[in-house]
């Protein structure tokens, strides 16, 4: 597997590790590597974890070092500025906890934010608690653009976190800060970094972005984002994946098929769905038009003024969309005849 750390940074981290094994650390060496560490992409925080641990020899040597008269890693941490950013990846939970207690704010890069937020899902409960307190400190004072970029790259992976429990509220409070939410919406609307829909679905677990759904449905560059925003508005609910379950497809042989397990919440909106559906029917992207067609099926007994959208989609170049409209026409005709 290729190294995640750039070679110069890895060499600098290894040099610190060699010093740590001797019971001391060169402050200048730590200060020199910190900018390169902080500049790592926030999406790499999970994969960087093991590489830093090994390169810096961050395993529990407290007993051995204390026995031979050298200061422990916790003692060195307290004495060396900036060492906390390496010790966040220490194998000893007590050292990770101490590192989090040392971090204040404001933070200057998305990777720093991601490194703290990542510890909300730590396997040690005391570390998770320390991470929650640390995140509370940094979220209040860190610039919105830094928090938003970290959120962009973490939201998708947080869907798989199973240990953070109530600590997830800290993360959603971060992306729910009004100026951070504005930056997230801008990034979702402009697209171009990948994973927009995964981020969007997980962000919809809270009502943070609900007010921006009409804007995203109309202006987002990625069709998948426009389609999801439209779907949420016309169905008045948000859904997201919570894991997997199994549905039996063959009772005789006991075969099962895996499918996503979904959770949902209502979305409060007073918007008339018909103008939204008609706008979706005019969208240049087939996935958005398909959402509009599906909405006409689902809401056909509740809508008025649906004829313009029906006419648009009836002439759609996609056969699957035309078939949906034919079904709606049939049901409307049956309703009129009855």
- pLDDT value of residue 279: 97
- pLDDT value of residue 3: 64
Using CA atoms in the order 39, 44, 49, 52, what is the torsion angle rounded to 10 degrees? -40
- Residue 62 pLDDT class (50, 70, 90 cuts): low
- pLDDT value of residue 194: 67
- Residue 55 pLDDT class (50, 70, 90 cuts): very high
User: What DSSP character marks residue 59?
Assistant: S
Interval 71-120: pLDDT, tens: 888 889 999 999 999 999 999 999 999 999 999 889 999 999 999 999 99
Look over the chain and give the mean of its residue pLDDT values, rounded to a whole number.
88
Whether the per-residue pLDDT at 32 is higher than 80: the answer is: yes
- Residue 131 pLDDT class (50, 70, 90 cuts): very high
- pTM metric for this prediction: 0.81
In 3D, which of 265, 113, 145, 244 has the Cα closest to residue 201?
265
Interval 253-306: pLDDT, tens: 778 888 878 889 999 999 999 999 999 999 999 999 999 999 999 998 888 889
% of the chain exceeding 90 in pLDDT: 57
Q: Which two tokens stand for residue 117?
A: 């937020």
**Which ranges of the chain would DSSP assign to H, the alpha helix?**
7-21, 27-38, 45-55, 62-67, 73-79, 84-87, 93-102, 110-118, 125-141, 144-158, 168-176, 178-190, 196-203, 213-219, 223-235, 273-281, 286-298, 307-314, 319-337
Q: Which two tokens stand for residue 71?
A: 């200061």
Whether the per-residue pLDDT at 202 is higher than 90: the answer is: no
- pLDDT value of residue 67: 52
Interval 206-220: pLDDT, tens: 888 899 999 999 999
Give the whole-angstrom CA distance, residue 32 versus residue 24: 16
Give the whole-angstrom CA distance, residue 293 versus residue 328: 9
Whether the per-residue pLDDT at 156 is higher than 80: the answer is: no
Give the whole-angstrom CA distance, residue 64 versus residue 303: 74
Give the whole-angstrom CA distance, residue 192 versus residue 113: 22
The C-alpha angle with vertex 12 and arms to 9 and 13, in degrees rounded to 5, equals: 85
Whether the per-residue pLDDT at 239 is higher than 70: the answer is: yes
- Residue 1 pLDDT class (50, 70, 90 cuts): very low
- pLDDT value of residue 110: 95
38 or 166, which is more confident: 38
- pLDDT value of residue 308: 94
277 or 155, which is more confident: 277
What is the separation, in whole angstroms, between the first and last Cα of the chain? 67
Q: Residue 243: in which H helix or E strand, if any?
A: strand 237-250
% of the chain exceeding 70 in pLDDT: 94
Mean local confidence (pLDDT), 188-209: 81
- Residue 77, judged by CB atoms within 10 A of its CB (0-12, 13-18, 19+), counts as buried
State the CB neighbour count (10 A cutoff) for residue 45: 25
- pLDDT value of residue 231: 97
5-10 long-range Cβ contacts below 8 angstroms, 24+ apart: 5/40, 5/48, 5/51, 5/52, 5/55, 6/36, 8/36, 9/33, 9/36, 9/37, 9/40, 10/51, 10/55
């Amino acid at each position: 597997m290729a190294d995640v750390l750039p070679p110069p940074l890895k060499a600098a981290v290894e040099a610190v590790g060699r010093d740590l094994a001797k019971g001391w650390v060169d402050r200048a060496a730590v200060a020199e590597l910190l900018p390169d560490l902080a500049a790592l992409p926030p999406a790499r925080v999970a994969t960087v974890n093991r590489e830093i641990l090994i390169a810096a020899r961050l395993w529990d040597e407290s007993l051995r070092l204390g026995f031979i008269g050298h200061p422990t890693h916790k003692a060195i941490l307290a004495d060396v500025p900036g060492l906390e950013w390496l010790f966040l990846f220490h194998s000893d939970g007590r050292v990770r906890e101490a590192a989090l207690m040392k971090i204040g704010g404001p933070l200057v890069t998305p990777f720093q934010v991601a490194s703290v937020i990542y510890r909300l899902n730590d396997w040690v409960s005391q570390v998770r608690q320390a991470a929650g307190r640390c995140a509370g400190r940094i979220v209040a004072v860190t610039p919105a653009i830094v928090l938003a970029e970290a959120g962009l790259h973490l939201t998708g992976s947080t869907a798989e976190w199973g240990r953070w429990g109530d600590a997830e509220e800290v993360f959603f409070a971060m992306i729910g800060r009004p100026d951070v939410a504005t930056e997230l919406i801008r990034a979702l609307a402009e697209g171009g970094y990948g994973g927009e829909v995964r981020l969007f679905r997980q962000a919809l677990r809270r009502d943070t972005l609900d007010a921006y759904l009409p804007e995203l449905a109309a202006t987002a560059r990625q069709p998948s984002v426009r389609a999801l925003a439209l779907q949420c508005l016309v169905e008045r609910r948000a859904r997201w994946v919570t894991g997997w379950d199994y549905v039996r497809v063959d009772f005789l042989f006991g075969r099962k098929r895996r499918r996503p397990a979904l959770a949902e919440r209502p979305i409060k909106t007073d918007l008339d769905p018909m103008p939204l559906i008609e706008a979706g029917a005019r969208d240049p992207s087939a996935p958005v038009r398909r959402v509009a067609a599906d909405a006409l099926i689902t809401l056909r007994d509740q809508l008025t003024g649906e004829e313009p959208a029906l006419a648009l989609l009836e002439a759609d170049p996609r056969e699957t969309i035309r078939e949906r409209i034919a079904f709606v026409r049939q049901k409307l005709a049956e309703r009129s005849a009855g």
